[in-house]
Amino acid sequence: MISQRKRLSSGLSVTSKVFVRSRNGKALKIVREHYLRNDIPCYSEACNKCHEIIKPDANGELPKFILSKDPNKLKDGSKHYIILDTNIILHTIDLLENIQCFYDVIIPQTVLEEVKNRSIPIYQRLRGLVKSEDKRFVVFHNEFNESTYINRLKNESINDRNDRAIRKVASWYNTHLNDNNNSHENIKIILLCNDKDNRLKANSEGINALSLLEYIDLLPNGEDLRDLIPADSNTFNDFNKDNETSFPEYYSDARIMAGIKNGTLYQGILNISQYNFLQGTVQVPAFKKPLLIIGSKNLNRAFNSDSVIVELLPKDKWREPSYTIIEETSLGADDNAEDADSIGDDDISGTNGVVSDKERLLLAQEAINATNAQSEERRLQPTAKIVGITRRSWRYYVGQIAPTSVIGEDSGNSSKSCFVILMDKLLPKIRIRTRKSKEYLGQRIVISVDSWPSNSRYPNGHFVRSLGEIESAEAETEALLLEHDVEYRPFAKNVLDCLPIEGDNWVVPDLKQTDDPQLKKRIDLRDKLVCSIDPPNCVDIDDALHAKRLSNGNYEVGVHIADVTHFVKPNTALDQEGASRGTSVYLVDKRIDMLPMLLGTNLCSLKPYVDRFAFSVIWELDEDANIINVNFMKSVIKSREAFSYERAQLRIDDKSQTDELTDSMRVLLKLSKKLKQQRLDAGALNLASPEVKVHMDSETSDPNEVEIKKLLETNSLVEEFMLLANISVARKIYDAYPQTAMLRRHAPPPATNFELLNEMLNARKPGMSISLESSKALADSLDRCEDPNDSYFNTLLRIMSTRCMMAAEYFPSGSFGYPEFKHYGLAVDIYTHFTSPIRRYCDVVAHRQLAGAIGYENLDLSHRDKNKMELIVKNINRRHRNAQFAGRASIEYYVGQVMRNNESVHEGYVIKCFNNGIVVLVPKFGIEGLIKLELLGDVNTADYNEDKFELKFTDLNGNKRIVGVFDKVLVDVKSVKDEISGKRKAQLLLK
């Protein structure tokens, strides 16, 4: 290889690399050119030279100088900038985001690219730090700077070359700012690196290189930051070396790839049982039923939701799912964090024997046969063990320090190990080291997991920050947002800069007096009698409707949706933030917006009495609500009124109201009933969920009442026309973009999902069953499952059926064949989300695609590229799921607060039975609680009949009792605080 550099023009040079390859006796010359510049600035406000060399970008904007001329000082009073190497970023991103440290940070381009190649999530967090400008992080493009670019030496590894490139950046900054600039006092350049060999080389070159710990010790607040330093492999060594702990080592990458290829290994997502933390399942396409993972050694250090590689166990190790409740907190509750690494014999033994690949293929065939079996052995499931983890689901976790793990008196500033019990009971406790364990007792704290060595019974992690006192509303709300990975930080400045400069004073421009060609394409619909119908106090009004009778006897019906994409343009910081958040999140006491409030509650919101931009879908419907034709248009509307569901219902029902607006709502209601009947006739499902509403005191904001949500006819009115709009738009954008249309599908449930529920019905309600031939068959069978002695039973069965369903998901149309587009629950062949762009990013994409489909504007490339669309839907599917879980967790917390001083007796229904407890649903509060056997009666008298799904026992009063699934029971409901996890929950006691 020959490398040479030459100057092309002022400010531009090129380095050429020539490769000569010989193949089949022929020479092949490859020339690669790498362009270098001399106008890349240092981005420091203290520099008096770079302002002379900078040039505007393609938009005519000059680069910003971010690094402060008066940066933070060390203990000795010296000002400093920090240059980070790759491993520091990969292992300490939490600390980099901490507001107590790390300001004026330089990220060499070499480091940024290495981080991107090794961890996309951390790369995205790092880019977020750079974009926000709050902490003054800059990326220095050393690979294109004439003064800092270096060639790779002969026999030099890529890692060594990159280390040398980073040292070159540190050396250049030191010379550039301190030797060549005389307008300021010296700014110390510190290279942060935990690689001892690299630090030695840097120091020998006159570079000030420090380890993370050395740097933290130099900061004025260093003592407070020591606990935030991630645990390395040596941190807990003193506590592992004398123990006999030994998890199986993971298979090598080569062995895993070969095993997946030849069918002896399988890949899937681990799901830990909600009631038994030592049992998990992995669904793999090869088997109808999931593979069972039983015992801590077979779970092999995997977390819930990890992407894992599994290997089948011999047939004599196959098991039925456990009918025993086992909670992590009940085992090892008194473990000493300083010495807690022995693993007991709670696992399936005999998993270390050598089994050939041929035998494993035979095992796989037997497993397929077992999962297809209809015999009395149908409950037997193949078991497996985890032999590798391809993707960790690790994130920030919230918990509290276990009081029993804080032992002894504080001795100076030495760190001690302690356990953190996480709020998520499906996860193990985490061992951290801190000097402030007693100070953090009784607080919600955030931790991050660093590692789980094979010789440690528990994962190792580090403290990130405290959220506040347990049970304080602020700490608990922030905890549940973190637990469900909801982005709740304020919008960054670069996002807010994308908003209209007029702010709240923005108004719809005059369509007749505009030179904007796109505005001229808008249709003026301000003469239509438009109104909105939403929940009470709704401020982010996405949708509005109108209807009128046509001269031919048909009806004109319009759905008008907030035109968010007028303000949110593709590839802007605002668009990227909305895409990242994916959805708004609704909690009991607050709303976490996907878009800034100026848009969501004002400029986009279809408020009454003001002109607003909208995207309108207008149908001509006949008397039976059949579509005659449909048109799509960007429009301007003026809503006449914003109704709540209840107020709209009262107005419709009031016979004395005969104005045009009320009459139009009556037309909408009449047509909506026909639309709903059409869906039900086609097989749409009418499922249920135990939804409740928490009422807050208007003065104190304290929760004071819980009620079951009531649905009015007006709820259904809005729902039916939103469904119709979503279906119509889905057809239009699929016709225009058959490979990348943003759609939503709901797959039919596998028959195995309903096996257990049907077994329960057969045993407890003879003659009842759920049919699965089609959604219509399922809907009809649910209608037939009525208990004349219990009006709530049908609702209960619909709730339990909902849990057997597959989750609906967003997808780009090119990912599936048309038959797989079907939305099973709605019984339609194609569907999307278009009607809520203020709070869902899917709808934003659908708006852009519809605008392209009708020729209003060109569609951005990101929504025409299948790979980019795959990334978008992957994120919004996850965000949508998390938002749902966060909302439910918020209701659960506030229901607990309402019940805090309100112990009472209510009706409940048994929905699960185990051999050591039952699970009861209380409809009044929409909660379900576990009642363990020790609270029911005499543990020694229990007899669980798994065929009848019933538990026999002698209660605390000496009476013999039988409790089974679907039984209506009376329970004493009170709110108690779990002393181990710190979570307040409903405690149910059988009366």
Q: Domains of the chain (ranges plus CATH)?
A: 70-228 (3.40.50.1010), 253-470 (2.40.50.690), 493-742+825-888 (no CATH), 748-804 (no CATH), 903-990 (2.40.50.140)
Spell out where 697-758 has E strands. Answer: 703-708, 742-745
Q: Which two tokens stand for residue 347?
A: 């696992």
CA distances from 891 to 617, 887, 904 (A): 35, 6, 19
Cβ atoms within 10 Å of 408's Cβ, excluding its own: 7
User: 10-residue block means of pLDDT along the chain (991 residues)?
Assistant: 54 62 63 80 88 80 88 90 92 86 93 90 87 87 90 88 94 86 77 92 92 91 82 54 68 92 92 88 88 90 93 87 73 59 44 50 58 56 92 90 75 76 89 87 90 89 90 87 89 91 91 83 94 91 95 96 96 93 90 94 94 96 95 96 94 92 95 94 80 57 61 91 96 96 94 89 92 90 91 91 91 94 94 95 97 95 94 94 89 79 85 89 85 84 88 87 92 80 77 81
Contact status, residue 169 vs residue 142, Cβ threshold 8 Å: yes
Q: Which of 283, 300, 281 minimizes the C-alpha distance to 351?
A: 300
* pTM of the predicted protein model: 0.82
- What lies within 8 Å, CB to CB, of 538 at 6+ separation is 642, 644
**Does residue 184 come out as left (phi exceeding 0), alpha (psi in the -120 to 50 range) or beta?**
beta
The C-alpha atoms of residue 745 and residue 838 are separated, in whole angstroms, by: 21
Helix 660-682 vs helix 713-736: angle between axes, to the nearest 10 degrees? 70
Q: Are 844 and 736 in contact (CB under 8 A)?
A: no
Q: What is the pLDDT of residue 753?
A: 87
Helices (H), 443-602: 473-483, 493-496, 517-520, 573-581, 597-598
For β-strands 968-977 and 960-964, DSSP reports them as: unpaired
CB atoms within 10 A of CB 456: 22
Alpha helices in 205-278 (DSSP H): 212-218, 222-225, 253-262
Which strand (E) or helix (H) includes residue 191?
strand 188-192
The C-alpha atoms of residue 908 and residue 930 are separated, in whole angstroms, by 12
Whether the Cβ atoms of residue 781 and residue 705 lie closer than 8 Å to each other: no
Residues 964 and 910 sit within 8 Å (Cβ to Cβ): yes
Angle at Cα 783 formed by Cα 782 and Cα 787, nearest 5°? 90
Q: Which residues contact 912 (CB under 8 A, 6 or more apart)?
A: 275, 918, 919, 965
pLDDT digit string, tens, across residues 783-828: 999 999 898 999 899 999 988 898 899 999 999 999 999 999 999 9
Q: Within 10 Å of residue 979's Cβ, how many Cβ atoms?
A: 12
H-only helix segments in 739-823? 755-764, 775-784, 793-802
Rounded-to-10 torsion of CA 524, 529, 533, 536: 100
390: which 2 tokens?
């391809």
Predicted pLDDT at 375: 46
State how far the alpha carbon of 710 is from the alpha carbons of 520, 715, 798, in Å: 44, 9, 17
Tell me the C-alpha distance between 730 and 723, whole Å. Answer: 10
* pLDDT confidence of residue 376: 47
Q: Which two tokens stand for residue 376?
A: 């009395």
Taking 3-state DSSP, the helix, strand and coil percentages for the chain, each rounded to the nearest 5, stand at 35, 25, 40
Q: What is the pLDDT of residue 889?
A: 85
Per-residue pLDDT at 894: 80
Query: Nearest 5°: phi and psi at 402?
Result: -70, 120
Q: What is the pLDDT of residue 229?
A: 83
Specify the 3-state DSSP secondary structure of 437.
Answer: helix
Instruction: Provide the b/e sequence for 373-391 (b: ≥16 CB within 10 Å).
Output: eeeeebebbbbbbbbbbee
User: What is the end-to-end Cα distance of the chain in Å, rounded?
Assistant: 84
- The rounded distance, in Å, linking the Cα atoms of 930 and 319 is 24
Calpha distance 432→337 (Å, rounded): 9
The predicted pLDDT at position 978 comes to: 73
